[in-house]
Each structure stands twice: as structure tokens, then as C-alpha cells.
Structure 1
Amino acid sequence: MMEQTTIRKGTSRIVRSIVVALVVTTLAGCATSQGSDPQPSADEIHRDLLVLDAHMDTAINFGRECWDFSEAHPLESEIAQVDLGRMAAGNLDGGFFVIFTSQGPLTAEGYRAALEHARQRSDTIDRELAKFPEMVGLATTAAEAEALNAQGKLIAFKSIENSYPIGDDLSLMREFYEAGVRMAGPVHGGTNQLADSSTDDVRWNGLSPLGKEWVGEMNRLGIIIDASHSSDAVLDQMLALSKAPIILSHSSPRSAYDHPRNIDDNRIRAIAAKGGAVCMSSIFLSELDLSGERGELFDRYDSIAQMSPAEQRELSRRWRALDATQPLWGSSFDQYVEALLHLIDVAGVDHVCFGTDWDGGGGIDGLMDITDLPAVTARLIDAGYSREDIAKMTSGNVLRILRAVEAMRER
């Protein structure tokens, strides 16, 4: 299965070219011309694009007993939204696998525990990727990502969600850079030693003094700054301080749903003016429903890698059953598309990307896992966007920002 999926992904363009050539040859002496050649379908266009997602929490599933990352798992019976099998089928070429650390106490002990967790999560990503070298490779530059794609391999970047684990030691960012991290955000759901969170109390009125130094260190190392989860004041200060473009790896327009995790139009324009991009997410297009059983399962998902196969299956079964009766989000696919088109209209096609928050709470009816991504491409085509426009949004803008950050490091 692994070899077959890799061949299908890596040679899809060649195979389609051969098929088209055979059809043209066969029909050459038959019926008269029926007009221009048929246009490629949205699925075909999507498979030909380089498609990256800027924020995938899939590493939460790495290390699960009897769970194979290389397989294409059926969504109906599996909680994970991303695996190599579904990626290789032509829906997603790669993206940023997240080293996530939940916010803990701002103490020496809290920092030590968080650092140990982040190091382990980074190592876990490395071990999982190493199992399937014929299918996927770790990329640390835009050129490496393009080279992997040219080889027919899937692309894995690393990112950090919440830089809390570095404590007050900025030199630890170099350690994570050397481990392959190329994107990082300062904060998550709770205000920490670096910055105010968009969903917690204000402590610093933006970045802390250490957080301002963190911005400079990110520029110096060549790591993309991710402003998702940061407060508005933090984002404003990042834009003023950073000498490289900034990204929001998984955020939605505030016009679609008024929530502090989302971004307003003026700040979308400010990010675009500095060369950055906003990656459209599927979260907070409505209120999050974590009541009752859904909240219990959400909390348990964090430890799925420590569960027995039977416990994993039961968690997945209950999770998917709730999708029909108590979805995490009350938004529809049409609402998602409307918000996406608004984001494009405000930012421009050069400053939009995708970060659905797979395996971290993302996904709505009609966009529940990566097999639904061609539907997004189809809607963009219907809205009049060209293949070139869509290619910028599916990967070109992220790789452009990565190149800008790489150039900053070299300088």
C-alpha cells in the first residue's frame, strides 16, 4: 500500500499526460472535432497543485499502538484527520507538524516540564517520519520542500505552537531550529512569559520585554513568526519589530465571527502590507461546543498515544458519533467559503494561505478531513480564481515567506 500510494502521488502528472496522449491518438482518425479539449476537473487541478497546510496537530497521534501513519484511515471510524495515505492520494502534499505544549505555570519547574515535553514531541515527529522515508521527508527550506515534491515525496516541516517551553532562555530557540523547526508562535491559550494571549488576561499589554527579544531572535535564526493565538497588541508589536514577514498559521477573519482568536480586516491589511499572510482556518467561525461528553473526549484525545488499540477505537467511535449530534462547531462549509473569499478580498491572493487546524479541533461538515480539500479548490475556481492564484494560496505564499525569513537569516 505504501509503495502504491507513493507511486500514484509522485507520478500523477506523468500518468495523466500519457492517458491524454493515448486518447488523442485513438480519436485522431474517428469523429470530427467536437470543439476544444475538455477542461480539467477541480480534483485534477487540486492534485496538480502543491498543497501545504500551515498547522497540523497530527503529531498527537504519533506513537499510537497499532496505528499506522502510512495508511489511509476511514474518517467514519478514525479520529485522526491526517495520515500519509490520504495525503498521498493527492489531497495534501505536506505542511507544518506542530510541537504543541499546553500552558503551565511560569516557574522553573513548569519550564522544565514543558521543555521536556516539547523535546519529546519533536523527537516523536522525527521517529515517525523516519519510518516512511520513501513517502515523506523533513524539509527545513523552501528549496528542500520543492525538491521533495519533485521526487514524489510528501513534505514535513516542524513548527512550535507556544514557545513557553524555552522559559527565559532564548538560546533554546537555536536548539529547536537545529532540530528542524521553521515556524513558531510565542503563546497559546494562556498569557505566558513572552506575550499576552488573545484568550487570556492582559499582563504585558502586548509582548513582554523577553518577548520583544524573542522576535529579534526569530529573525536572526530564520524562523517564521506565527501570530495565531496572540493578542491584537502582540500582533501590532510584532509587525513593528519584525524585519521579516509574519504569518498567522491558523486564524479566521473576525468579520465571519467576532472572537478574539480571529483577525480584523485592518490587521489583515497590515500583515499583507508587510509581506505576510493569513492562513484560513476552520475554527471559530462559530462558538466552540465542548459541553458534556464532547469536552470529556476532547481532553482524552491529548493522551490517545498512551491508549490501547481498543481504547483508541472507542474514543474514535464516540467522537464520530457526536459529529452527527453535537459537532464541535456550528458553522457550515458555505460559511467557511464565504469567510475565505472575504479574506482573499481583503488581503489579496498574495497574502492568503491555509491552516485548517487538522487534529487540533479543526474541521466542519463538508471539510472534515484532508480528503475534502478539493472542494475548497472547486469553490475558488467557481469564484473566478485562476490556477496561478490558487497555487499561491495553497503553497506559494508560505514558501515565499519562508524564503524571506531564510534571506533574513543570511543577512
Structure 2
Amino acid sequence: MKSFVALCVTLAASVAMPAAAGPGPVVSPAVMALHQKLITLDTHLDTPANFSRPGWDFTAGHDGHEDFSQVDLPRMAKGGLDGGFFAIYTAQGPRTPEGIRAAREAALVRAMDIREMVAAHPDRMELAFTADDAARIAAKGKVIVYQSIENSYPLSGDIGLMATFYKFGVRMIGPAHFRNNDWADSSTDPAGLEWHGLSPAGKAFVAEANRLGMILDASHSSDDVLDQMLALSATPIILSHSGCKAVYDHPRNVDDARLKALAAKGGVIQINSYGDYIAKAVASPARDAEMKALMAKVGNRRDLPPAEVAALMKERRAILAKYPGSRPDFDMFAKHLLHALKLVGPEHVGIGLDWDGGGGVIGMEDVTDIPKITAVIKAAGYSDKDLANIWSGNVLRVLKAAEIYAKGAAAKS
């Protein structure tokens, strides 16, 4: 997830355009039937940020062109998404006692938001804690709710909190986000590298995640961090929402050599749909300036009641109408996906679209469009078994490996 103002600028084109069937493949009835049979998991859902929005109901259907949202229970059912990793995201703030304390409180509240949402709808959702839980919950027709931490800034100075969040149900954890922190370097900090990978505390972070049985997530972290995680971790690494540098050379994307190293250690890249990382956007400084001014005027959109959000969207559309731009479409997303599949094989690729955190492209605006992913993979000649691995088997294999290692380590201690 981006900082609020930057995220709103990035989403500008997406909310300006009506939903469209294309580009991308047409989803045939046969492909849709196959898609519905699969256990489908997205490894990076920022949707919990919406759970506390005034007047917003995860169980009701929404139009993202009116309220920014991309995932809710009705749209998950329509798109055939069975669940995924719901993110406990905290923006990087000051690395001070006060900043860390505020971040810790925010992360704990977000974790409670997820648990309370599931507890309020036990007939429709269920928390998942092990790899085996996915099939069991799917068989009940419920949404599978794993939890992850994006940016471990809230844990700064207290690695013991990782065990606390593990007890809450967190099973995937990434050290950094847009900026460097006490654990690791970010791939996008304007200040450049601080630790040249993991800090000394970050190396202990890797060991503790292994001990507990958490998947280590290198998305947003620097290339050096990925290299060091691969060297240090006793279990496979995941990139929960990343892209391929060979398709678009962006710091958030991963080069082919590192993708091969990731796969060689059993890891998985989950392809995202975040426009800034898929292709170079058409620049429009005037549009971005007006959008920034609008967002500064209204404050945090997630705190606004529905009527004010709708009014905000109307103003946004008026600005964007003056500055028609471009953003990546489904076909550009597919280039990243198909490149990864060709390079490392279907045992090492998955889906992490960054919904409600800035993900989405023309032709895949919200979760209802994800059957197109199944269609494009099938059209490329991959088997039903490959699809099962891509949509959930690979990430569950990585989680199972983390569980097995943790049990073995516990038995030895």
C-alpha cells in the first residue's frame, strides 16, 4: 500500500474510467467452471484498511468507481476468489519511541479489525492458520482468511512481538515497505540504502520467522535483502506482490537471476497488478498537482462517510476529465505473469494483486475480473494442475514448509 496522497494519485486513472470487459481474454463458460473449482488465494489483500471505514460494509456489494474499494464478499463470490492473505499494513513513520508506539497500536487495531470481521460472520468467513486449513474452509463454502504483516515497523525494537502476532494468526511477514527501517532496506527509499540488506536485527528477524513458522515476504525490500533472505532462511521465500524487471525495469520488480535463485530455494513470486510497477505511466504533473491538492483538502478518504466519498469521487472525475492519461492494461499485467511462468515454471508463480492497496489495471479493475487470469494462463498452454498450483498450491506449499521447519526446530529445543 502506498502513502495516502501518492496512492490517490496513482489510482487516478482507474477511478476515472468505467469498468470494461477488455482488454484481456474472454472468459468462456468452460474456463469459468474451471476457475470456480480451483482454490484461489490472493497473497496481498489490503482490504482490512476498509473494515473501519464509516458506513462501509465488507458483506455488501460496492462499486469501486464510487468508493475506491475493490474487494468485498459479493464481488469475491462473483470473481471466484476464495480468500487470501489479509494484510496488517502500517505506513513507515518516524523511527522514534513515539512513532513506533503509535505504529504498534495501529497494527494491533488492524489485527483486531480482521478478527472481529471474521467473528461477526462465522457462516461466511473463517480464520486460517495452517496450510491444510485452506481446503477445509473452502469445502465449507467460506472465505479463507489468512493474515500477513506488510512492513514490520510496528515490531521495531521488540522482536518478541512477532510471536504475539503469530498467536493472532499472522503467517506471512515482510520487514520493510517504501522506506528503510530498523529491520531492512526498502527498494524505494529516496535516501538510498542504509543497511545494504538486512540490519543485524533483520537477520535475527529472519531466524525468528523461521522458528515460528511464518513465511518471509521480500516484496518492497531491496534486492540485497532478498539475496540475504535466500541465504539465511531455512524455508522458502515469497514475493507476495511483485513483478518482473525484465518486463519493466522498476526497483520494486525482480530481475531474472534473482527469480531463478528464488525458485531454486523453493520460493514463489506472486504477480501484482500495481500500475506503477507494471509499465511506465504517462506523466501529467498538472493532473497530479490538482489531485494532490484535492486529497490534501479532504484528508483521509477512509475516514469520510459514504456521501462525502461520493462527492470526492465526483471532483476527482472532473479533474481527470481535463487530463486524459494512460495506465497499464490487462495485457501488460499478463506479460509479467507469462514471463515469470516461462522463466521459473508454474511451481514458482502465484497471484498477489494488491487489491485495495493500489492494484488493478484497465480490464481488471476489481476482484470480479480475476477469471481473466485463469483464461490467459490456460490459453498459454498450462494445465489444470498448473493452475491449481498458481492460484494456491504454491503458497500453501511454502506455508507447509515453514510449518514443518518450525515443528522440527521446536522438537530440538
State the TM-score, normalizing by the size of structure 1.
Answer: 0.86
Q: Report the 3-state secondary structure (helix = DSSP H, G, I; strand = E; otherwise coil) of the residue aligned with 2:278.
A: coil
* Separation in 2, partners of 1:182, 1:100: 14
1:162-201 to structure 2, matched below 5 A, reads 162-200=151-189, 201=192
1:54-93 to structure 2, matched below 5 A, reads 54-93=43-82
1:275 correspondence with 2:266 = yes
Query: What's the counterpart of residue 33 of structure 1?
Result: none
1:231 correspondence with 2:228 = no
Cα–Cα, structure 1 residues 304 and 356, in superposed 2: closer, same or farther, change >3 Å? same
* Separation in 1, partners of 2:216, 2:257: 19
Cα–Cα, structure 1 residues 120 and 151, in superposed 2: closer, same or farther, change >3 Å? same
Query: What's the counterpart of residue 409 of structure 1?
Result: 406
Deviation, 1:68, is 1.5
Tell me, yes or no, if the aligned pair for 2:79 and 2:370 is still in contact at 8 Å. Answer: no
1:286 correspondence with 2:279 = yes
Deviations 1:180-210 (A, max 9, x none): 1110100000000010100111111110000
Aligned amino acid, residue 138 of structure 2: N
Cα–Cα, structure 1 residues 352 and 98, in superposed 2: closer, same or farther, change >3 Å? same
1:368 correspondence with 2:361 = no
Tell me, yes or no, if the aligned pair for 1:250 and 1:278 is still in contact at 8 Å. Answer: yes
Cα–Cα, structure 1 residues 317 and 407, in superposed 2: closer, same or farther, change >3 Å? farther
Q: Report the 3-state secondary structure (helix = DSSP H, G, I; strand = E; otherwise coil) of the residue aligned with 1:142.
A: coil
1:246 correspondence with 2:246 = no
Tell me, yes or no, if the aligned pair for 1:328 and 1:361 is still in contact at 8 Å. Answer: no
Cα–Cα, structure 1 residues 253 and 312, in superposed 2: closer, same or farther, change >3 Å? same
Unpaired stretches in structure 1, ≥5 consecutive residues: 1-38
Cα–Cα, structure 1 residues 300 and 177, in superposed 2: closer, same or farther, change >3 Å? farther
Q: Report the 3-state secondary structure (helix = DSSP H, G, I; strand = E; otherwise coil) of the residue aligned with 2:56.
A: coil
Cα–Cα, structure 1 residues 402 and 202, in superposed 2: closer, same or farther, change >3 Å? same
Bigger Rg over Cα: 1
Aligned amino acid, residue 150 of structure 1: A
* Separation in 2, partners of 1:348, 1:324: 42
Deviation, 1:88, is 2.0
Structure 1 range deviating more: 60-69 or 201-210: 60-69
Tell me, yes or no, if the aligned pair for 1:349 and 1:393 is still in contact at 8 Å. Answer: yes
Tell me, yes or no, if the aligned pair for 1:88 and 1:154 is still in contact at 8 Å. Answer: no
* Separation in 2, partners of 1:293, 1:114: 30
Query: What's the counterpart of residue 203 of structure 2?
Result: 212
The structure 1 residue matched to 2:393, chosen from 387, 392, 396, is 396
Deviations 1:132-184 (A, max 9, x none): 21111111111112111011101111100000111111001011111111101
Deviations 1:14-41 (A, max 9, x none): xxxxxxxxxxxxxxxxxxxxxxxxx952
* Separation in 2, partners of 1:175, 1:116: 13
Aligned amino acid, residue 214 of structure 1: F
Deviation, 1:324, is 7.2
Tell me, yes or no, if the aligned pair for 1:224 and 1:401 is still in contact at 8 Å. Answer: yes
Q: CA RMSD in A?
A: 2.1
Cα–Cα, structure 1 residues 254 and 318, in superposed 2: closer, same or farther, change >3 Å? farther
* Separation in 2, partners of 1:282, 1:166: 28
Deviation, 1:326, is 6.1
Query: What's the counterpart of residue 109 of structure 2?
Result: 120
Deviation, 1:130, is 1.9
Query: What's the counterpart of residue 5 of structure 1?
Result: none
* Separation in 2, partners of 1:299, 1:393: 40
Query: What's the counterpart of residue 154 of structure 1?
Result: 143
Unpaired stretches in structure 2, ≥5 consecutive residues: 1-27, 409-413
Tell me, yes or no, if the aligned pair for 2:242 and 2:272 is still in contact at 8 Å. Answer: yes
* Separation in 2, partners of 1:301, 1:337: 35
Query: What's the counterpart of residue 105 of structure 1?
Result: 94
Tell me, yes or no, if the aligned pair for 1:81 and 1:368 is still in contact at 8 Å. Answer: yes
Tell me, yes or no, if the aligned pair for 2:171 and 2:214 is still in contact at 8 Å. Answer: yes
Cα–Cα, structure 1 residues 62 and 297, in superposed 2: closer, same or farther, change >3 Å? farther
Cα–Cα, structure 1 residues 335 and 173, in superposed 2: closer, same or farther, change >3 Å? same
The structure 2 residue matched to 1:258, chosen from 245, 249, 252, is 249
* Separation in 2, partners of 1:387, 1:196: 38
Query: What's the counterpart of residue 307 of structure 2?
Result: 310
Cα–Cα, structure 1 residues 364 and 230, in superposed 2: closer, same or farther, change >3 Å? same
State the TM-score, normalizing by the size of structure 2.
Answer: 0.85
* Separation in 2, partners of 1:293, 1:375: 34
* Separation in 1, partners of 2:56, 2:214: 32
1:140 correspondence with 2:129 = yes
Deviation, 1:64, is 1.9
Tell me, yes or no, if the aligned pair for 2:66 and 2:309 is still in contact at 8 Å. Answer: no
Tell me, yes or no, if the aligned pair for 2:67 and 2:306 is still in contact at 8 Å. Answer: no
* Separation in 2, partners of 1:317, 1:45: 39
* Separation in 1, partners of 2:324, 2:176: 27
* Separation in 2, partners of 1:223, 1:128: 23
Q: Percent identity?
A: 49
Query: What's the counterpart of residue 347 of structure 1?
Result: 344
Structure 1 range deviating more: 304-313 or 96-105: 304-313
